[in-house]
Amino acid sequence: EVQLVESGGGLVQPGGSLKLSCAASGFTFSGSAIHWVRQASGKGLEWVGRIRSKANNYATAYAASVEGKFTISRDDSKNTAYLQMNSLKTEDTAVYYCTRHEVGVPFDYWGQGTLVTVSS
Amino acid sequence: DIQMTQSPSSLSASVGDRVTITCRASQSISSSLNWYQQKPGKAPKLLIYAASSLQSGVPSRFSGSGSGTDFTLTISSLQPEDFATYYCQHIYRTPLTFGGGTKVEIK
């Protein structure tokens, strides 16, 4: 069974940092791109960024709103992707989801989400 | 960046109604469009990919159409479990963007 499980969310002060994890199982993690999507309370979905597979040179891409602040990485030996978030602002408060992008059927599985709250 | 404009932002409908949601891209995205359903407190659920392909396990009352810049999600006969928020998303190139969402409520 395909599973994606996010962890690492919590309360952080403005200007602080947090690292989220996305643990995958049930599929060939190393062959998939992983995307991060966030959703502020009561708002719509916002694509955050993605990391491609080793075959695609682990290429990353980010939304303009997080470029230079957030970094996506992965450890294929641990079947885990990460979202390092620095210089956090209150507007980064959201539920953060990870999802996979497989050739043919993108974004078919999502994690349950992890809540990040940026507040003093 | 490619902008996705979804309409309407909300609608009220009755069980059994035919419901249509539209999504317009600011430039051509071929058929690189997904549709999702999201219920409160839950992750989005993929309904349609590549504009018109029904995701496995999704009821056939859901269908998608369109290419280029104009896309449509249709629910042929609305069921009680379909009351939710629906989003389109282009996956043509990064940055990927979502439409603003359509909340389908009970009339």
- pLDDT tens, position by position, A46-58: 999 999 999 999 9
Of B106, B79, B88, nearest to B36 by C-alpha is B88
For B38-48, the pLDDT digits (tens) are 999 999 999 99
Per residue in A57-111, pLDDT (tens digit) is: 999 999 999 999 999 999 999 999 999 999 999 999 999 999 999 888 889 999 9
pLDDT at B12 over 90: yes
Taking the CA of residue B79 and the nearest CA in chain A, the distance in Å comes to 22
Q: How far is B31 from chain A (nearest CA, A)?
A: 13
What DSSP state is assigned to residue A90? G
Q: Give pLDDT, residue B40.
A: 96
Q: How far is CA A13 from CA A17, A86, B14, in A?
A: 8, 11, 45
Distance from CA of B6 to the nearest CA of A (A): 12
Closest residue in A to B6 (Cα) is A44
Partner residue facing B43 (CB), from A50, A61, A112: A112
Query: Helix, strand, or coil here: B47?
Result: strand
Interface residues of B toward A, Cβ cutoff 8 Å, are 1, 34, 36, 38, 43-46, 49, 55, 87, 89, 91, 94-101
Does residue B106 surpass a pLDDT of 90? no
